Amino acid sequence: MNEKIDFSEITKEDILIAFEKYEELSNKNMINKNRNGKEYILFWNSKEYPHKYIVGIAYGLKYNQEPLDNTYYNSMGNHKSSAQWCLEKNGFILYADKKYKEYLQKKYNNQTTINTYYSDLKKAIKIFQNIEQLRDKDLNEILKIMKNGGIDFDDYDKSQKELGFNDKQLFSTLKTKAKTYLESINNENIVNSEGIEMQNENKQIQPLNQILFGPPGTGKTFNTINKAIEIIENRVLTKEELTPENRIALKDKFEEYKKAGLIEFVTFHQSYGYEEFVEGIKAIPVGKEGNEDGNEMIYDVSSGIFKKLSNEAFNNSIVKKQIFKESKKRFNLNAPMINIQAEMIKDDENSFRVLKGSKIRKAESNSFPNKKLKNEVLSKVKKIEYDEFYILEEDYTFQSMSASSSVILGRASNGYSDWKEVLTSEEILTSYSNSEEPIKNYILIIDEINRGNISKIFGELITLIEPSKRIGADEEIKVKLPYSNDDFGVPQNLYILGTMNTADRSIALMDTALRRRFEFIEMLPDLEVLDGLEVDGINVKSMLGKINQRVEYLYDRDHTIGHAYFMSLKDNPTLEELENIFKNKIIPLLQEYFYDDWEKILMVIGKGFIEIEVIKDDIFDYKVDDYLEEEKCTYKIKNKFDFSSFK
């Protein structure tokens, strides 16, 4: 039969009735489960439905046709897209299940990560469809709300509890997972002359701010190398490039980019602060940058790692294209500790014109090398004298940048550390739009980002790292820094890549301002990398899987054990090495997780590792019942482990 079925008269009301009929048939076991195709899924009322079944049932009910499942119109030669057309016509958006899974398999090399992304997003859609104010929203609207963080945690939490879920951690990763799904259905690829599929290089394919989070030993820091290369080269590494055989090549490439100044690495800790990260007043010893010619230590405003890399990234974004209508560059000098400010224009390579209104300090350091030049300037220029400084009433031209800053500050200066180039917003925007060469991407890797005091470290800059607030963006924001008084913004080619150990601090306790501005990429133990690894008849993959199931049951998945702990077995697959891993890594980790609750540790790894000794109360000559227990046990790690329970 080649007859086409006409779905044009099927209405939204018909489809809603079909949902009820499907539930009725399902409860009676009258649904052919083998025909539930997974190319597309229809979500409605926080449940999953096979879209062709629903349309087939709607048609059958409307026209009194039998059977009611999708075999009917398939056998009539009807193309599958007709069901999709019917649903979309009535305001239902289908979930591209197959396409999303295929995209995840291309994007991630970790099967556990793929499975988590795949299952978590479907769970999230059900939770969001159950939120009262979202019940009439279509799937695309819900996904955009997830991606933009447009729902409160309280609404999310209430909805998930109503559905019987309890996954607070999922809320923090919704933006990333929704964005990944939207990427999968809008993925634009190009094919090169060799037939290899490549990402469109004009698109930004990595989020500007992202955090790799997961239990210890899941390869978070390990994967920052891969992520950094992908960001700098603006592409996705192939599976072949991610194989162990190519690891050395990736590491060498990472080191090259690091030496070139494109990558900086820092670890947050409890005593790390704004002064180290952004800027602060620091002592500069004799001979160091900023005090090369001095004879004594000086104190000056010093830029931190984030400010330095931001400036470097910004300068790179403008250096490839002349962006001024005139060739003259403008500079500011600001020394708030001595209340000296100045402005200068570089007219040419040998003419540095300090502008009217600039200050010149009266005092001089003991090692000041340019007294003669300073006296000459003061004798020639028109000025107003105050107690601690002079103010110029006219411009004065110096022959070098260092000479101008030295005279103004009354101390040795190389010029470049004191003068800061100034650009207007219009000039910045022009630099981005007129660049003929690709702008280099810069990366700041922050290891253990959750261990630092975020408010103390980022300060006012937490706002500036948002993509919409960066230099050149529609809502660009700059702030005046507290020590240098410099106008400061974050360029669009600076990426921030953090790592976070979920066992160290729950993601739910992360600084809310930070969590909202970063996309979170979960990294779970990847059992597949241990596939085929056996030690003395013990399947390491199976053993770790069983241990993690028990840990997740007794605690949560944030505290599972990463595959990295066992990677040394690939080079040394001996029982001695496996015992060493358990004795020095796994058991101490479990002790920390369970606060030395040895009964729980025994439940996780079994009796083959822990020796139990019962202590009776007959050791006491004098007994007090309040302090005695029926049975008291002590626990001791065995000298020789028994792995038989894992064989």
pLDDT, one tens digit per residue, over 116-136 is 888 888 888 989 998 988 888
The average pLDDT across 271-285 equals 90
- pLDDT for 200: 42
Tell me how many degrees the CA angle 186-188-191 measures, rounded to the nearest 5: 155
Taking phi over 0 as left and psi of -120 to 50 as alpha, with beta for the rest, 372 belongs to: alpha
For the chain, how big is the Rg over CA atoms in Å? 33
Residue 77 Ramachandran class (φ > 0 left, ψ -120 to 50 alpha, else beta): left
pLDDT of residue 256: 93
| pLDDT tens profile 471-497 | 888 788 889 999 888 889 999 999 999
Lowest model confidence (mean pLDDT) among 52-61, 258-267, 329-338, 508-517 = 508-517
User: Which letter does DSSP use for residue 337 in this model?
Assistant: T
Cα–Cα distance for residue pair 65/85, rounded to 1 Å: 21
Q: Which residue, among 602, 588, 587, 592, has the nearest Cα to 634 in the 3D structure?
A: 602
Instruction: Kindly give, in sequence order, each residue whose CB lies less than 8 Å from that of residue 626, ignoring residues fewer than 6 positions away.
Output: none
Q: What is the pLDDT of residue 509?
A: 54
Mean pLDDT of 588-612: 93
Q: Given a cut of 50, is residue 590 above it in pLDDT?
A: yes
pLDDT band for position 425 (cuts 50, 70, 90)? very low
CB of 479 closer than 8 Å to CB of 464: yes
The domain spans of the chain are 12-94, 100-187, 202-316+423-524, 324-401, 527-646
Residue with tokens 């992360």: 510
- Give the pLDDT confidence score for residue 497 in this predicted structure: 96
- The pLDDT, as a whole number, for residue 320 is 45
> Is the domain defined by 202-316+423-524 classed in CATH 3.30.200?
no
Among 69-73, 349-353, 510-514, 626-630, which stretch is predicted with the lowest mean pLDDT?
69-73
* pLDDT at 426 (0 to 100): 47
Model confidence at 326, pLDDT cuts 50, 70, 90, reads: very low
Q: What is the pLDDT of residue 203?
A: 52
Q: Residue 428 is which amino acid? A: I
Rounded distance, CA 591 to CA 418, Å?
53
Would you place residue 577 in the very low, low, confident or very high pLDDT band (cuts 50, 70, 90)? very high
Q: Is the pLDDT of residue 359 over 90?
A: yes
Does position 459 have pLDDT exceeding 70, yes or no? Answer: yes
Please, which residues have CB within 8 angstroms of residue 89's CB and are 6 or more apart in sequence?
none
pLDDT given at position 104: 84
Task: State the DSSP code for 486.
Answer: -
Rounded to whole angstroms, the Cα distance separating 522 from 223 reads: 12
Q: Which tokens is 528 given?
A: 């597949």
CA angle 441, 446, 452 (to 5 degrees): 145
pLDDT band at 606 (very low <50, low <70, confident <90, very high): very high
The encoded tokens of residue 299 equal 């104190």
Query: Hey, is 283 helix, strand or coil?
Result: strand
pLDDT > 80? residue 525: yes
Q: Please count the other Cβ atoms lying within 10 Å of the Cβ belonging to residue 464.
A: 19
Give the span between the Cα atoms of 36 and 26, in whole angstroms.
Answer: 12
Cα-based distances in Å from 381 to 342, 396, 401: 15, 7, 18
Q: Among candidates 202, 169, 203, which has minimal Cα distance to 183? A: 203
Residue type present at position 441: N
What is the rounded CA–CA span in Å between residue 594 and residue 190? 51
Q: Are 333 and 418 in contact (CB under 8 A)?
A: yes
Preceding peptide of 67 cis, ω within 30°: yes
Which pLDDT band holds residue 288 (cuts at 50, 70, 90)?
confident
Percentage with pLDDT > 70 across the chain:
86
Q: State the pLDDT confidence band at 321, using cuts at 50, 70 and 90.
A: very low
Mean pLDDT of 318-336: 63
Using the predicted structure, report yes or no on whether residue 201 has a pLDDT greater than 70.
Answer: no
Q: What is the pLDDT of residue 65?
A: 72
Would the pLDDT of 197 be above 70?
Answer: no
> What type of residue sits at position 254?
F
Q: What is the pLDDT of residue 516?
A: 78
Residue 403 or residue 84, greater confidence: 403
Reply yes or no on whether the pLDDT at 404 is more than 80: yes
Task: Out of 15-19, 79-83, 165-169, 413-417, give the one with best mean pLDDT.
Answer: 15-19
* 225 has pLDDT over 90: yes
pLDDT higher at 108 or 456? 456
What is the secondary structure of 8-68 as a DSSP string?
TT--HHHHHHHHHHHHHHHHTT-S-GGG---S-BEEETTEEE-HHHHHHHHHHHHHT-S--
CB neighbours of residue 594 within 10 Å: 18
Taking residues 229-255, what's their average pLDDT?
88
